[in-house]
């Protein structure tokens, strides 16, 4: 179970940023403009984010295992289409479909994994799952750079095809099917949450290009928020809601989702710039930069499983608050000391501290959310959690890039550092915002009583 869900999570998370180091080659091969290059990254994140809750709801109704396998097939097919793209428009369209496949893979994989383990072992399993996906996100630029340098840009997509096709028969034969509550499909709810999320994400993605004060961005953000308010109003009175608002009575659910939003906002913002910093400011090649990031990325594999197991024993709150505080401290430290001639050994402590912190926080936040609802509602909870991760990532990159563009650029190593320092300083602030959100979580003993009462209410409704 861990291996099969981990494979899907690895592919989906890796393709979030793997294309970033291939952009220069893609621009030359497909004669792309800067805005078109931006959309090769954002089209994937956009469709991924807005379809997550929809995918979770469909999995509850039609079977999580079957739709998880469908997601793997869709992802593999879209990856092949990316590799075969004759022009940039084709590539952007294929990346959009690839994001839709990822939207099926991530929440349904987490739901299947959560249901397969008892509550006392769930945190450890999610910790391992988080280690795999977290490492994939952090190592995306390294993998992309190594593949492009050793083969060609198309191979960052071709590698997904055999992995997905081999995994599908094992998923269908080795994984147990599971469903959510046998309720009617909330079509209006699905439409409202998808359109609302699309509006918010579109505004975040277009902010840097069109201008944060432009009519397009402001209208998109305002309309997106209004539609999401309409979604909440509908769900409060819908006979069979796709996302019961009573979930938010649980402080563990609400605070866990807020914390994961800021955790990934901070993580994506820093990962987007770390490899570029090592190459542009300090002069290392793609492979050299990736190797020097290993002290940071290795924590996702070594710390996250331990943190997941600890969450089962001590609760999620201390891990989230402590982890996000460490993440902010490591990022902020690097922002203060970075110069174009900074010796690499001086970066090791900031890298390790930030890596340990985020590796503590991710599994704790996920465990908090899926553990705060009854077992039959895990699919919906996982969908919300995954959507908050992707929205946080889009938000974090948008804010960090806006700050970078306003303070620096790529003309010289010093210009890059001038933008890099405040950009990751903002990412440190986002991590602190997540720590503050985590303080709202109940203590473990109080949470256990509250969740028992909530689960009892859900069982009787």
In tens, the pLDDT along 262-275 reads 998 998 888 878 87
Helix (H) or strand (E) holding 19: none
Percent of the chain predicted with pLDDT > 70: 79
Task: Among 241, 256, 276, identify where a domain stops.
Answer: 241
Mean pLDDT across the chain = 79
217 and 142 within one domain:
no
- Give the pLDDT confidence of 184-243 residue by residue, as tens digits: 667 788 788 778 878 887 887 777 778 888 999 899 999 999 998 998 899 888 877 777
288 and 266 within one domain:
yes
Domain count along the chain: 2
Residue written as token pair 């503590």 = 360
Structure tokens at 446: 């109080």
User: Could you tell me if residue 450 is inside a domain?
Assistant: yes
Supply the CATH number for residue 122's domain: 1.20.1250.20
Confidence of residue 79 (pLDDT cuts 50, 70, 90): very high
Would you say 269 and 424 are in contact if contact means Cβ atoms under 8 Å apart?
yes
Cβ of 179: how many Cβ atoms within 10 Å?
Answer: 15
225 and 298 within one domain:
no
Query: Could you list the residue range(s) of the whole structural domain that residue 411 is in?
Result: 2-175+242-456
- Give the pLDDT confidence of 396-433 residue by residue, as tens digits: 887 888 788 778 877 788 988 999 999 999 999 999 99
253 and 237 within one domain:
no
pTM attached to this predicted model: 0.77
Q: Lowest mean pLDDT of 28-32, 317-321, 342-346, name the range.
A: 28-32
Task: Kindly report each contact of residues 81-90 with a partner whose C-beta sits within 8 Å and lies 24 or more positions away, as own/partner.
Answer: 82/154, 82/157, 83/154, 83/155, 83/157, 83/158, 83/161, 84/154, 85/30, 87/30, 87/31, 88/26, 88/30, 88/31, 88/32, 88/33, 88/36, 88/37, 88/40, 89/36
User: Could you tell me if residue 122 is inside a domain?
Assistant: yes
Task: Tell me which residue of 175, 144, 170 sits closest to 65, measured CA to CA.
Answer: 175
What one-character DSSP code corresponds to residue 20? G
Task: Tell me which residue of 47, 41, 54 sits closest to 102, measured CA to CA.
Answer: 47
User: Could you tell me if residue 145 is inside a domain?
Assistant: yes
């Amino acid at each position: 179970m861990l291996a099969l869900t981990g494979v899907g999570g690895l592919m989906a998370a890796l393709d979030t940023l793997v294309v970033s180091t291939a952009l220069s080659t893609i621009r030359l091969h497909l004669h792309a403009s800067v805005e078109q290059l931006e959309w090769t990254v954002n089209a994937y994140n956009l469709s991924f984010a807005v379809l997550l809750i929809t995918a979770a709801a469909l999995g509850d109704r039609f079977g999580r295992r079957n739709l998880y396998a469908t997601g793997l097939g869709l992802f593999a097919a879209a990856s092949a289409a990316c590799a075969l793209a004759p022009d940039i428009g084709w590539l952007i369209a294929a990346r959009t479909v690839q994001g839709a496949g990822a939207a099926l893979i991530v929440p349904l994989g987490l739901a299947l994994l959560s249901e397969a383990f008892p509550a006392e072992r769930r945190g450890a399993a999610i910790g391992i799952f988080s280690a795999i996906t977290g490492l994939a996100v952090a190592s995306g630029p390294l993998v992309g750079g190594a593949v492009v340098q050793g083969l060609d840009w198309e191979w960052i997509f071709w590698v997904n095809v055999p992995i997905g096709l081999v995994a599908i028969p094992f998923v269908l034969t080795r994984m147990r099917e599971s469903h959510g509550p046998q309720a009617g499909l909330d079509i209006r709810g699905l439409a409202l949450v998808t359109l609302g999320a699309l509006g918010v994400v579109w505004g975040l993605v277009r902010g840097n290009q069109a201008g944060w004060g432009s009519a397009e961005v402001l209208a998109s953000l305002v309309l997106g928020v209004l539609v999401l308010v309409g979604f909440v109003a509908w769900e409060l009175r819908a006979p069979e809601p796709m996302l019961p608002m009573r979930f938010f009575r649980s402080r563990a659910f609400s605070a866990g989702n807020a914390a994961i939003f800021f955790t990934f906002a901070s993580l994506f913002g820093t990962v987007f710039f770390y490899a570029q910093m090592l190459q542009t400011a300090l002069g290392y090649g793609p492979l050299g930069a990736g190797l020097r990031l290993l002290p940071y990325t290795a924590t996702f594999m070594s710390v996250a499983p331990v943190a997941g197991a600890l969450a089962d024993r001590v609760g999620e709150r201390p891990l989230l608050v402590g982890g996000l505080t460490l993440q902010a401290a490591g990022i902020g430290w690097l922002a203060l000391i970075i110069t174009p001639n900074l010796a690499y050994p001086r970066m090791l402590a900031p890298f390790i501290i930030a890596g340990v912190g985020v590796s503590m926080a991710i599994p704790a936040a996920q465990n908090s959310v899926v553990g705060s609802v009854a077992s039959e509602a895990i699919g919906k909870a996982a969908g919300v959690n995954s959507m908050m991760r992707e929205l946080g990532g889009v938000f974090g990159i948008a804010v960090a890039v806006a700050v970078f563009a306003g303070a620096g650029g790529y003309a010289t190593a010093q210009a890059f550092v001038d933008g890099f320092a405040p950009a990751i300083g903002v990412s440190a602030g986002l991590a602190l915002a997540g720590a503050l959100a985590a303080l709202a979580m109940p203590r473990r003993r109080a949470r256990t009583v509250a969740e028992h009462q909530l689960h009892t209410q859900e069982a009787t409704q």
